[in-house]
Structures are given as structure tokens and as C-alpha cells.
């Protein structure tokens, strides 16, 4: 498994070990703590610099590859050629690893993509797994290119491919904007989103990890690209309300017209943040339920676990 030291990767390693898998957890460098019993750290350095032959030893006798590593989405990426930077890791590493996995006789390849490979917004509709992809930024395009390459090359490499496309992932250990939102709610900060009626899908890290575990032994998901969510969409106002409830507090929400919020955020150079706070990105899972998987944790259970870790 690549990306084993990341926010999602740490949870997936622990859950796979609990499910009885022996895990080779690929990391850039060994963390300052021991791997869970049943897993072993495999330090590989910069994955983007590796050739196929460098993977041979790590892939020996491996039944499945879970590929989580990649260049993460960066807001307002200032790289001179952002698409090339994303392609170098998100496409290049995937190609080399999948090619080496096919040579090594690996049977299953689980690729962690992103909803951004499909769209940034669902508008007034709900996006299903088979929605036509229209990525809008360099990160989304790189993820979509990696997906296309995997599906095109699956037969040639002898691999069974499943792609997961999560929306925003939250859970204990989450950082950035989600953690900030929890801290603001914990302080009783007033929020001007009382009139926002958008719909957004989220996924708790425990649900995403379970979806990865399920995918390894799910022939019905071969050749599928699947949304993985909590199956419980909510508005920004609803999210703040449920975070506050998990904190044992009353949410302080007051209504401000959406056009005013959007205009104010745009004036301070935060248009992308306005889209996330005010726009809709609602997803409908079809492939996972058809294959027999449902998220084991409710959204409220996930929020409670997340809030406890951040607020204490």
C-alpha cells in the first residue's frame, strides 16, 4: 500500500491489519513509530523518481495493491506548470507502479482518485458514479488521466482495477479548513450561512477505509470507478449545526444572502472557498450498494469522532 503515512493511509493500514491482511506499507521514510502488528514499513523515498524495477522486491507475492500516494490538491497552486507537477506524481507513479504490479502477478489494483476527476459541482442535480467526467483544474485532470490509463491498460497488465472517487474526507487527524471549522464552532463563532441551502457529500475516513477493504475482494467492482460517501448529504448550515451538536453547543447561524457572501469572498481572493461553502456537490453511490457495501459509520458518528479529536 502506498501513501501509508498519510491521513487516509494510516487508517487504511490499521483497518486492513485488523481484517487479517499482511500489509507492506510504502512510505517516503519510516515514521518515528512502529508499524501496527501485521504491517511493515517499506521506505521507498520519492516515488516519482522510481523505475519499474525498483518495485519488484516490494511487489513479490503481493495479492493486491492499494495506491493512495499522490500529489495532493493544493488551493491556488502557484507552480509554474501545475499540471506537469500533478502528472509527474499522480499519473507517472501510477503508470510505473501498475506496470510493475502486472509483471509481478498482482491480481487487484485499487486506485484512490477523487471526485475532482469528475466535477467541481453538481449544480441542482446529483452526480452518479457513471456521470461524464469534466475535471476543471490541474489536480482533477491528472487524476482523470491516471484513471483512463489504468482502465486502458488493465487487460494488458492482467490487473483487475477499481477506482475510488471520494469527496471531502474528514475524521480524526484531519487538518486545514475542516479542522478550522470545528475550532470556530467550538468557540461559538457566529456563521453567516443560515440562508445557504446547498447539498454536499462527505466521507468519514473510517467509511473510506472500509470501502478500500471491501474493494479488494469485490469482483463486482472490477473495472468500476466508484463514489464513496457517507450517503448523507447536507448543507453548509446543516454541517455546522451537526458539528455544534457533536460539541454539545448551539450553532450560531444567521442569514446573509448568497450573492453577498460570494461577492465578499471573491473580493478577498477566496472564490474557490466560496464555491466549497456555497456550492453543491452531491453524489449518488450506485456501484458500491449494488456490490453489497454500505458505509458502516453514520455521518454523526464520524463527526463525533472527529470533533472529539480536534476539540480536545
CA–CA distance, 98 with 103 (Å, rounded to integer): 9
CA–CA distance, 26 with 54 (Å, rounded to integer): 12
- Apex CA 73: angle with CA 23 and CA 192, to 5°? 120
Q: Cell digits for 48?
A: 516519482
CA–CA distance, 102 with 107 (Å, rounded to integer): 8
Closest CA relative to residue 87, chosen from 45, 138, 134? 138
Residue of 86, 111, 139, 170 with catalytic role: 139
Q: Is 139 a catalytic residue?
A: yes
CA–CA distance, 69 with 49 (Å, rounded to integer): 14
Closest CA relative to residue 13, chosen from 178, 209, 156, 175? 209
Determine the longest span between alpha carbons in the chain, in angstroms.
59
Scan for cell 486545514, then name that residue. 176
CA–CA distance, 51 with 58 (Å, rounded to integer): 13
Strand partners, 164: 112, 226
Strand partners, 278: none
Q: Which residues are catalytic?
A: 139
Amino acid at each position: 500500500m502506498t501513501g501509508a503515512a498519510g491521513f487516509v493511509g494510516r487508517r487504511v493500514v490499521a483497518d486492513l491489519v485488523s481484517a487479517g491482511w499482511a500489509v507492506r506499507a510504502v512510505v517516503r521514510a519510516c515514521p518515528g513509530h512502529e508499524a501496527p502488528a501485521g504491517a511493515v514499513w517499506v521506505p521507498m523515498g520519492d516515488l516519482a523518481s522510481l523505475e519499474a524495477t525498483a518495485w519488484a522486491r516490494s511487489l513479490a507475492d503481493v495479492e493486491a495493491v492499494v495506491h493512495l500516494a499522490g500529489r495532493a490538491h493544493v488551493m491556488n497552486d502557484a507552480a509554474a506548470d501545475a499540471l506537469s507537477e500533478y502528472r509527474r506524481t499522480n499519473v507517472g507513479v501510477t503508470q510505473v507502479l501498475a506496470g510493475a504490479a502486472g509483471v509481478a502477478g498482482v491480481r487487484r489494483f485499487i486506485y484512490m482518485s477523487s471526485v475532482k476527476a469528475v466535477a467541481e459541482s453538481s449544480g441542482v442535480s446529483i452526480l452518479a458514479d457513471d456521470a461524464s467526467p469534466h475535471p476543471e483544474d490541474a489536480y482533477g485532470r491528472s487524476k482523470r488521466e491516471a484513471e483512463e490509463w489504468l482502465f486502458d491498460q488493465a487487460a494488458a497488465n492482467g490487473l483487475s482495477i477499481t477506482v475510488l472517487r471520494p469527496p471531502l474526507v474528514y475524521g480524526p487527524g484531519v487538518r486545514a479548513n475542516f479542522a478550522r471549522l470545528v475550532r470556530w464552532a467550538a468557540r461559538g463563532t457566529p456563521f453567516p450561512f443560515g440562508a445557504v441551502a446547498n447539498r454536499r457529500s462527505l466521507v468519514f475516513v473510517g467509511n473510506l477505509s472500509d470501502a478500500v477493504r471491501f474493494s479488494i475482494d469485490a469482483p463486482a467492482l472490477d473495472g468500476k470507478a466508484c463514489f464513496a460517501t457517507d450517503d448523507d448529504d447536507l448543507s453548509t448550515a446543516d454541517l455546522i449545526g451537526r458539528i455544534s451538536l457533536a460539541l454539545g453547543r448551539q450553532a450560531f447561524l444567521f442569514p446573509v444572502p448568497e450573492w453577498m457572501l460570494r461577492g465578499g469572498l471573491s473580493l478577498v481572493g477566496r472564490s474557490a472557498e466560496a464555491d466549497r461553502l456555497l456550492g453543491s456537490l452531491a453524489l449518488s453511490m450506485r456501484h458500491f450498494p449494488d456490490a453489497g457495501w454500505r458505509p458502516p459509520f453514520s455521518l454523526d458518528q464520524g463527526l463525533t469522532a472527529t470533533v472529539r479529536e480536534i476539540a480536545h
